[in-house]
């Protein structure tokens, strides 16, 4: 097996990142963490994570940006909020996970095999365009982008759903798309003011 | 995007910093202020504390005099109802304050400039919140009758 | 000497308090400002005013500069007012020609902006200088102290304090609400870290209390009224009926034997419901007093009135049983009061994910203490509610502690007692034991060594807070077990540990009625509900109410050694008071200027101590200086302004107002 | 007669059709009037949060603003919608700066929102506004002997437990018992179904799905009752696949409203029961009304 360097040097710490994470919505209390591991223990996905939520929280507040944003953990989070309601220090773990996802997408730092950013991207685009989401379309588009093979693997289910009228192929839409877009644009414009 | 709550007081229009005279009872609120100190709780430096044994000692004259001499706000701090070190002095205060409010209203002094708060010896955090909140509100109101005509109506006492 | 006649010569002393004040307040500037104020003869700044050289400085200046007023700007008067009054007196001045300014707790420690903190210090100092000019010499009046002491709570702290005082020849009233003294300690099996048996070291002290000629022990009793002040409290104690006349009972316990209930049917409180008792019972074999008690809730005669009363037959000619016994009210004068009302264990039901009350094999630490106790419900045999012997046991630390959702504080004893229970359970059952902890806290003599011993015994230490206890089995070996799920944070794996028995190490929380007790005795509580000490370091057993002291876990979670030490300290403080023989009252009483009193009687109804009377001949009110507590309510209310208050004269306060408002 | 604003959300117009059909049927039976929120837009769900938080709040915000005009409680049956709408409200209160930013958006879009809207879940409404008695009164065919595992999933009681306990919710249990069903003790009732993991890490998603179904079986449930379209979809649509990978399971998964509907005497068709991938007929047939 390959030998892995298990030492961390201070130069690897990104203090701006550590600062940033305490500033995100829900991140205020990350410094209160006592590393009890309740988040990990209550997380249904933890068994599949490369770093448990507890480790990730500490890595983040210590500023190990590369390891944090490169970790599977943030993409495995299904935002079920177990960690958030359990945390004895009232740390908004789920919100922090969201923030880390956003940061990873911005920095393009997420592990490539994860279609979630793609899904999220398509999702956002569709909402912006139509105001509503037509799941079937979304699924198709995502799988077209991410892995065509998986779509084929699903085709049986697809037909079943279709036959049972659970695959609405007509893309749905709201009437006042203009309003929605103005809203989003205006918010976008003033976001930095708020930040 | 940092979201600090409560908002830290920033200087008001043309840097106006309100002066607030506080009468704290010796057993509850004064102790809360001491506790704030020992626990290094930070709050706005605008208040000036005058200690009385009980909030019941605060004579309406004191409040009027404070306003007359340039206070922008007056805060009275006492023990919670039922907790008074002297059994019920704070109830007496409450009654007196109600009357005083009416007088102040007639003199055109805004509600927010005069406040009565129950703050127990352990409530350093609450003290901070109350003080910061009052300073904010009074700062927003601006100086009390900044035109120098303030002595009129309010007789000044206590010249030794 | 007064501001209105004779000249005022004020000395001002500004304290750096090392860097505590100087770091945030420009003390030099403050001192210089004061120097220029009318009446100020000398104004200095010094590193530590409270130090001997600091106090000496004051004395010298008084002599040298013929000062007749002194102002010290330093910390809170509640900390050092007495110190500086003393220094002033040393200089030959009346100690009340002095005023203290709080520029530490109220300024340097709570502000960051140096300029504005300095400005505030100047304002406060200016106010004091204006005020002190009006101070006049006052005399403290001396009040004799009643030598008896009341102690509330018969746990280890109360017991120790009572014996200490009694042995020093003081008479003590010890009031306990349970049928027996002993408190929580009486329920324990062994005590950490020495593992000596709790009963062996406690019960001798309990009997000593009962035997001691200087101790009046009232069990099943509550303090229902407290009046007066330091040195002269009037305490009312209500004794609930035991339905057994203590003086007649010889403690043969035949009545219990004879009860018509042949089998014990009632869940027994002392064993937390794990055992059963009869309606007439004794809490535990070594209970003190060794006198049964009848529980009217369950006694047939109380419910139906148609019982054979076999207990009374058994008591025969001793006639100690009195089913008609009524509550007794006692009123006693005491000079000092020690509160040792203790704590209560955290209610494990408040943490639903641990399944207490849902899964029968989830126990609290207190229940386990009884299970392993030789005189407990199972005679010291650890068996589960279904009769099985546990082969694997999990102990969860910090239940109801270190958690924003329950209690923020660390309960301080749980790590150690969890280790103790781990050892005892292993000893009793040979089971495999897992301790789930967050941080292992073993500060204390021999404590870390005890932890080490446990490690050697092969108890598993898993660093991680348990998320849930569940009967959801994912693997064959989990079937029929309780599964504890936690992250083993030291290896970063989530682990599922199947066990037969779960022990919840519950934290310590204030008694349910702590707030009522606090009000009754007129003391303060911390925001968590623990009784508040006068100073966390320098006055740990004093309260802000003179003559009332606190000892043991009512002040904060603590273990037996600390509770006992504190009890000793409280006893000593009480003795200091009593042996001094008198208290000096702060001379802040109110008085009436007869010539100005209009006789409107407004003040009379206001005084909670009925210290004000009306002289019908002179048609004026008069204040009894001895009864006046100096709240000043009457002063503020007097329509004719004819009531004055020493130390808080109107002029003095008006000068303060003027002072704090002058533009700097 | 009670009236509510109704926010279907995208899923109830797609994979979750059956939820809407059964929900409307049941509410009609209880004379509860529902007015669909006009021109509602997608709530942003969980995915949008990972793209842009404030915009996500804006999406929810538009719906809330539209609802506020109507001065009615807003009912959101889909867990994701329910959470996101609640969360948006919560954060608008908690974080002044979020509120400020949204204000600009609202102004530009000609909307106003003061925070007055109450977001409600059907469970909440049925238990607290309508009441068990009313529901009992409507029963035509009690679900006697039907063993149900009540599955709440995550986002209804977490993190904003407004109408039920966070750790062991019971509101659905009460409803199901009310209509005669036997509710099994199901310790995983709030455990996550994996959300969209199936799409991204199939093996993980499938195992989470399997865990839930297997435990329901182990507790002798004949059917799992859900309150969330995504949960239902995962547990139903991927059941076969999960079974293949981790061991056979056969557990019909239905919406609690479908069970109430049966008890109220509606047909399988009216309740959209035929839309299930794992046929529910096997266990539910005996409760269906005899074809007239």
Q: At which of D120, D155, D186 does a domain end?
A: D120
- Contact B1/A194, CB-based, under 8 Å? yes
Q: At which of C79, C110, C139 does a domain end?
A: C139
Q: Could you tell me what percent of chain C has a pLDDT over 90?
A: 91
- Contact C353/D187, CB-based, under 8 Å? no
Which residues form the domain of A134? 115-194
A66 with A85, same domain?
yes
pTM greater than 0.95 (yes/no): no
pLDDT for the residue A190:
84
CA of D291 vs chain A CAs: smallest distance (Å): 22
With an 8 Å Cβ cutoff, is D187 touching chain A?
no
With an 8 Å Cβ cutoff, is D97 touching chain B?
yes
A120 with A93, same domain?
no
Condensed to tens digits (0 to 9), the pLDDT of residues D146-168 reads 999 999 999 899 998 789 988 88
With an 8 Å Cβ cutoff, is B106 touching chain A?
no
A140 with A189, same domain?
yes
**Residues 6 or more apart in contact with residue B52 via CB below 8 angstroms:** B23, B24, B25, B26, B58, C632, C648, C653
Whether residue A3 is contained in a domain is answered as no
CA of A135 vs chain D CAs: smallest distance (Å): 7
C502 with C522, same domain?
no
The mean predicted confidence, pLDDT, of chain D is 93
Whether residue A85 is contained in a domain is answered as yes
- A125-139: b (≥16 Cβ within 10 Å) or e: ebbbebbbbbbbbbb
pLDDT for the residue A130:
86
User: Across residues C234-238, what is the average pLDDT?
Assistant: 98
CATH code for position D39: 1.20.1050.140
CA of D134 vs chain A CAs: smallest distance (Å): 32
∠ at Cα B103 (B102, B107), nearest 5°? 115
Q: Is the pLDDT of residue D60 over 80?
A: yes
D13 with D111, same domain?
yes
Quote the longest CA-to-CA distance of chain A: 59
Whether residue A146 is contained in a domain is answered as yes
Q: Sort out which chain A residues have CB atoms less than 8 A from C439's CB and list them.
A: 34
Q: Sort out which chain A residues have CB atoms less than 8 A from B1's CB and list them.
A: 23-25, 194-195
Measure CB to CB from residue D101 to each of A82, A127, A190 and give the nearest one: A190
Dist CA D269 CA C466 (whole Å): 46
Whether residue D67 is contained in a domain is answered as yes
Q: At which of A107, A129, A150 does a domain end?
A: A107
D99 with D157, same domain?
no
CA of D166 vs chain A CAs: smallest distance (Å): 8
C366 with C503, same domain?
yes
C374 with C446, same domain?
yes
pLDDT band at B11 (very low <50, low <70, confident <90, very high): very low
Beta strands B47-52; C590-592: pairing state: unpaired
For chain D, what is the domain count?
2
For chain A, what is the domain count?
2
- Contact C472/D187, CB-based, under 8 Å? yes
- Contact B65/C524, CB-based, under 8 Å? no
Whether residue C172 is contained in a domain is answered as no
Q: Is the pLDDT of residue D45 over 90?
A: no
CA-nearest residue to A25 within chain D is D95
Please name the residue that has the structure tokens 């199936």.
D198
Chain-centre distance for alpha carbon C8: 45
D268 with D158, same domain?
yes
C637 with C491, same domain?
no
Q: Which residue, among A23, A90, A190, would best test binding to B if mutated, counting the most B CBs under 10 Å from its CB?
A: A23
Q: Is the pLDDT of residue C327 over 80?
A: yes
**Reported ipTM:** 0.85
Q: At which of D57, D91, D120 does a domain end?
A: D120
Measure CB to CB from residue B158 to each of C127, C536, C655 and give the nearest one: C655
Q: Sort out which chain B residues have CB atoms less than 8 A from C112's CB and list them.
A: 42
With an 8 Å Cβ cutoff, is C525 touching chain B?
yes
Beta strands C582-585; C620-623: pairing state: unpaired
Whether residue A75 is contained in a domain is answered as yes
Q: DSSP secondary-structure letter at A124?
A: H
Q: Is the pLDDT of residue C664 over 80?
A: no
Whether residue C212 is contained in a domain is answered as no
Q: Who wins on pLDDT, D273 or C527?
A: D273
CA of D91 vs chain C CAs: smallest distance (Å): 20
pLDDT for the residue B5:
36
Q: At which of A81, A107, A133 does a domain end?
A: A107
A30 with A85, same domain?
yes
Number of helices (H) and strands (E) in chain A: give both, helices first. 11, 0
Condensed to tens digits (0 to 9), the pLDDT of residues C509-568 reads 999 999 999 999 989 898 899 999 998 888 999 998 999 999 999 999 999 999 999 999
∠ at Cα A38 (A36, A41), nearest 5°? 125
Dist CA D263 CA D272 (whole Å): 15
Q: Are C609 and C629 in contact (CB under 8 A)?
A: yes
pLDDT for the residue A147:
53
**Residues 6 or more apart in contact with residue A100 via CB below 8 angstroms:** A21, A56, A60, A68, A69, A74
pLDDT for the residue A162:
74
The residues in D 209-238 lying below 8 A from C, measured between CB atoms, are 211, 215, 218
CATH code for position A78: 1.10.1060.10
CATH code for position D164: 3.40.50.11810
Whether residue D80 is contained in a domain is answered as yes
pLDDT for the residue B15:
78
The pair phi, psi for residue C586, each rounded to 5°, is -55, 125
Of B146-155, C386-395, C654-663, D203-212, minimum mean pLDDT range: B146-155
With an 8 Å Cβ cutoff, is C467 touching chain A?
yes
D211 with D278, same domain?
yes
Q: Could you tell me what percent of chain D has a pLDDT over 70?
A: 99
pLDDT for the residue D195:
84
Q: Is the pLDDT of residue A91 over 70?
A: yes
Condensed to tens digits (0 to 9), the pLDDT of residues C190-221 reads 999 999 999 999 999 999 999 999 999 999 99
CA of C633 vs chain B CAs: smallest distance (Å): 4
Which residues form the domain of D235? 141-287
C289 with C436, same domain?
no
Dist CA C379 CA C275 (whole Å): 10
- B86-97: b (≥16 Cβ within 10 Å) or e: bbbbbbbbbebb
Q: Sort out which chain A residues have CB atoms less than 8 A from D110's CB and list them.
A: 179
- Contact C465/A54, CB-based, under 8 Å? no
- Contact B54/C632, CB-based, under 8 Å? yes
User: Across residues C286-299, what is the average pLDDT?
Assistant: 96
Q: DSSP secondary-structure letter at C525?
A: B
Which residues form the domain of C552? 510-579
CA-nearest residue to B3 within chain D is D95
Whether residue D277 is contained in a domain is answered as yes
Q: At which of C449, C476, C508 does a domain end?
A: C508
Q: Sort out which chain D residues have CB atoms less than 8 A from A163's CB and list them.
A: none
For chain C, what is the domain count?
5
- Contact B2/A25, CB-based, under 8 Å? no
- Contact C633/B56, CB-based, under 8 Å? yes
pLDDT for the residue A115:
66
- Contact A135/D208, CB-based, under 8 Å? no
pLDDT for the residue A169:
65
pLDDT band at D46 (very low <50, low <70, confident <90, very high): confident
With an 8 Å Cβ cutoff, is B7 touching chain D?
yes
Q: Who wins on pLDDT, C161 or A117?
A: C161
Q: Is the pLDDT of residue A119 over 90?
A: no
Q: Sort out which chain B residues have CB atoms less than 8 A from A195's CB and list them.
A: 1
CA-nearest residue to D91 within chain B is B3
CA-nearest residue to A156 within chain D is D237
With an 8 Å Cβ cutoff, is C648 touching chain B?
yes
Handedness of CA C417, C422, C424, C425 (dihedral sign): positive
- Contact A28/B3, CB-based, under 8 Å? yes
Whether residue D134 is contained in a domain is answered as no
A23 with A89, same domain?
yes
Condensed to tens digits (0 to 9), the pLDDT of residues A46-84 reads 999 999 999 999 999 999 999 999 998 998 999 999 999
Q: Are C439 and C412 in contact (CB under 8 A)?
A: no
Dist CA D30 CA D24 (whole Å): 10
CATH code for position C40: 3.40.50
| Cα atoms found within 13 Å of the Cα of residue D194, Cβ hemisphere only | 26
CA-nearest residue to C134 within chain B is B160
Q: Is the pLDDT of residue B150 over 70?
A: no
Dist CA A100 CA A103 (whole Å): 5
User: Across residues A7-29, what is the average pLDDT?
Assistant: 94
Condensed to tens digits (0 to 9), the pLDDT of residues B81-96 reads 888 888 888 889 999 9
Q: Is the pLDDT of residue C144 over 50?
A: yes
Across the A:C interface, residue pairs with CB atoms under 8 Å apart total 58
The secondary element (H helix, E strand) that includes residue C529 is none
With an 8 Å Cβ cutoff, is D95 touching chain B?
yes
Measure CB to CB from residue D41 to each of A80, A115, A132 and give the nearest one: A132
């Amino acid at each position: 097996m390959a030998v892995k360097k298990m030492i961390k040097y201070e130069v690897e710490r990104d203090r701006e990142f550590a600062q940033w994470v305490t500033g995100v919505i829900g991140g205020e209390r990350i410094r209160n963490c006592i590393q009890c591991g309740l988040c990990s223990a209550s997380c249904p996905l933890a068994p599949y994570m490369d770093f448990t939520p507890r480790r990730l929280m500490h890595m983040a507040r210590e500023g190990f940006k590369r390891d944090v944003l490169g970790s599977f953990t943030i993409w495995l989070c299904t935002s079920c909020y177990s960690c958030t309601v359990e945390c004895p220090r009232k740390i908004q773990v789920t919100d922090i996970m969201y923030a880390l996802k956003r940061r990873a997408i911005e920095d393009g730092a997420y592990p490539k095999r994860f279609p979630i950013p793609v899904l999220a991207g398509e999702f956002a685009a569709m909402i912006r365009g139509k105001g509503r989401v037509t799941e079937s379309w979304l699924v198709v588009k995502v799988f077209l982008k991410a892995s065509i093979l998986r779509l084929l693997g699903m085709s049986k289910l697809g037909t079943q759903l279709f036959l049972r009228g659970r695959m609405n192929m007509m893309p749905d839409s709201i009437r006042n798309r203009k309003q929605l877009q103005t809203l989003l644009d205006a918010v976008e414009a003033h976001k930095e003011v708020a930040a | 995007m940092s979201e600090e709550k409560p908002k830290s007081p920033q200087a008001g229009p043309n840097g106006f910093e309100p002066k607030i005279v506080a009468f704290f009872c010796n057993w509850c609120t004064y102790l809360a202020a001491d506790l704030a100190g020992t626990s290094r709780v930070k709050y706005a430096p605008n208040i000036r504390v005058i200690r009385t044994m009980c909030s019941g000692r605060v004579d309406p004259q004191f409040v009027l005099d404070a306003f007359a001499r340039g206070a922008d706000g007056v805060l009275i701090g006492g023990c919670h109802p039922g907790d008074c070190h002297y059994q019920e002095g704070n109830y007496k205060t409450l009654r007196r304050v109600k009357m005083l409010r009416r007088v102040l209203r007639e003199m055109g002094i805004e509600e927010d400039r005069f406040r009565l708060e129950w703050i127990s010896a352990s409530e350093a955090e609450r003290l901070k919140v109350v003080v910061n909140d009052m300073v904010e509100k009074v700062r927003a109101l601006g100086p009390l009758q900044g035109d120098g005509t303030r002595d009129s109506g309010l007789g000044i006492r206590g010249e030794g | 000497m007064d501001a209105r006649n004779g000249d005022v010569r004020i000395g001002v002393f500004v304290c750096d308090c090392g860097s505590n004040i100087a770091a945030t307040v420009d003390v030099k500037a403050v001192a210089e400002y004061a120097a220029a104020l009318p009446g100020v003869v000398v104004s200095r700044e010094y590193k530590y005013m409270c130090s001997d050289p600091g106090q000496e400085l004051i004395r010298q200046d008084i002599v040298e500069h013929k000062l007749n007023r002194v102002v010290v700007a330093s910390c809170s008067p509640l900390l050092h007012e007495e110190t500086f009054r003393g220094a002033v007196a040393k200089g030959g001045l009346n100690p009340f020609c002095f005023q203290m300014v709080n520029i530490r707790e109220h300024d340097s420690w709570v502000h960051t902006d140096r300029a504005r903190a300095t400005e505030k210090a100047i304002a406060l100092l200016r106010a004091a200088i204006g005020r002190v000019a009006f101070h006049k010499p006052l005399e403290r009046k001396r009040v004799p102290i009643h030598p008896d002491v009341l102690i509330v709570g018969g746990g280890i702290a109360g017991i120790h304090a009572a014996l200490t005082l009694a042995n020093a020849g003081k008479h003590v009233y010890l009031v306990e609400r349970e049928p027996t003294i002993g408190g929580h300690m009486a329920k324990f099996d062994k005590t950490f870290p020495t593992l000596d048996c709790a009963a062996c070291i406690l019960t001798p002290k309990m009997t000593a209390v009962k035997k001691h000629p200087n101790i009046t022990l009232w069990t099943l009793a509550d303090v229902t009224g407290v009046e007066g002040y330091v040195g002269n409290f009037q305490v009312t104690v209500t004794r609930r009926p035991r339905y057994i006349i203590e003086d007649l009972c010889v403690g043969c316990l035949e009545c219990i034997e004879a009860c018509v209930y042949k089998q014990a049917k009632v869940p027994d409180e002392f064993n937390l419901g794990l055992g059963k008792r009869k309606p007439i019972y004794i809490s535990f074999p070594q209970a003190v007093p060794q006198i049964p008690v009848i529980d009217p809730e369950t006694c047939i005669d109380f419910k139906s009135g148609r019982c054979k009363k076999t207990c009374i037959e058994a008591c025969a000619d001793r006639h100690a049983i009195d089913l008609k016994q009524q509550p007794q009210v006692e009123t006693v004068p005491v000079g000092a009061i020690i509160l040792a009302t203790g704590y209560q264990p955290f209610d494990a039901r408040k943490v639903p994910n641990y399944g207490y009350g849902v899964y029968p094999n989830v126990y609290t630490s207190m229940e386990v203490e009884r299970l392993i106790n030789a005189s407990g419900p199972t005679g010291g045999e650890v068996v589960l509610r279904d009769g099985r012997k546990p082969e694997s046991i999990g102990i969860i630390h910090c239940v109801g502690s270190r958690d924003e959702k329950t209690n923020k504080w660390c309960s301080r004893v749980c790590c150690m007692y969890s280790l103790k229970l781990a050892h005892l359970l292993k000893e009793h059952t040979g089971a495999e034991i897992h301790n789930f902890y967050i941080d292992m806290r073993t500060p204390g003599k021999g404590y870390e060594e005890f932890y080490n011993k446990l490690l050697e015994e092969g108890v598993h230490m898993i660093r991680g807070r348990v998320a849930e206890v569940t009967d959801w089995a994912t693997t064959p070996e989990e079937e029929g077990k309780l599964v504890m799920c936690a992250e083993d944070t030291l290896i970063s794996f989530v682990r599922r540990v199947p066990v037969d028995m779960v022990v919840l190490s519950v934290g310590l929380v204030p008694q349910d009625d702590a707030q009522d007790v606090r009000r009754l005795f007129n003391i303060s509580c911390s925001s968590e509900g623990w009784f508040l000490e006068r100073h966390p370091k320098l006055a740990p057993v004093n309260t802000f109410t003179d003559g009332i002291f606190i000892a043991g876990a009512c002040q904060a979670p603590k273990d037996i050694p600390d509770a006992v030490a504190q009890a000793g300290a409280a006893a000593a403080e009480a003795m200091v008071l009593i042996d001094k023989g008198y208290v000096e009252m702060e001379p802040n009483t109110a008085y009436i200027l007869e010539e100005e009193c209009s006789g409107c009687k407004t003040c009379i109804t206001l005084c909670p101590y009925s210290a004000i009377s009306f002289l019908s001949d002179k048609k004026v009110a008069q204040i009894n200086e001895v009864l006046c507590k100096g709240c000043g309510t009457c002063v503020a209310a007097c329509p004719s302004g004819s009531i004055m208050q020493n130390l808080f004269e109107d002029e003095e306060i008006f000068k303060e107002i003027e002072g704090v408002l002058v533009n700097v | 007669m009670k009236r509510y604003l109704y926010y279907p959300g995208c899923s109830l117009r797609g994979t979750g059709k059956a939820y809407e059909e059964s929900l409307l049927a049941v509410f009609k039976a209880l004379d509860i009037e529902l007015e669909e929120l006009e021109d509602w837009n997608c709530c942003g769900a969980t995915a949008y949060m990972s793209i842009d938080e404030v915009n996500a709040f804006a999406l929810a915000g538009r719906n809330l603003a539209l609802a506020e005009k109507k001065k009615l409680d807003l009912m959101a049956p889909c867990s994701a919608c329910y959470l996101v709408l609640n969360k948006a409200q919560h954060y608008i209160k908690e974080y002044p700066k979020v509120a400020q930013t949204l204000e600009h958006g609202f102004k530009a879009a000609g909307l106003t929102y003061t925070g007055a809207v109450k977001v409600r879940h059907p469970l909440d409404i049925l238990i607290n506004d309508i009441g068990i008695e009313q529901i009992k009164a409507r029963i035509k065919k009690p679900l006697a002997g039907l063993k149900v595992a009540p599955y709440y999933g995550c986002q209804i009681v977490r993190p904003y437990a407004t109408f039920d306990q966070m750790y062991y919710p019971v509101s659905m249990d009460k409803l199901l018992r009310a209509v005669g069903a036997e509710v099994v003790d199901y310790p995983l009732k709030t455990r996550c179904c994996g959300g969209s993991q199936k799409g991204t890490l199939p093996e993980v998603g499938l195992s989470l799905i399997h865990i839930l179904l297997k435990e329901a079986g182990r507790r002798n449930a004949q059917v799992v009752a859900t309150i969330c379209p995504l949960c239902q979809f995962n547990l139903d649509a991927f059941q076969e696949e999960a079974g293949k990978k981790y061991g056979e399971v056969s557990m019909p998964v239905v919406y609690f409203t479908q069970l109430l509907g049966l008890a109220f005497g509606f047909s399988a068709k009216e309740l959209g029961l035929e839309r299930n991938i794992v046929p529910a007929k096997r266990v539910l047939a005996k409760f269906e009304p005899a074809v007239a």
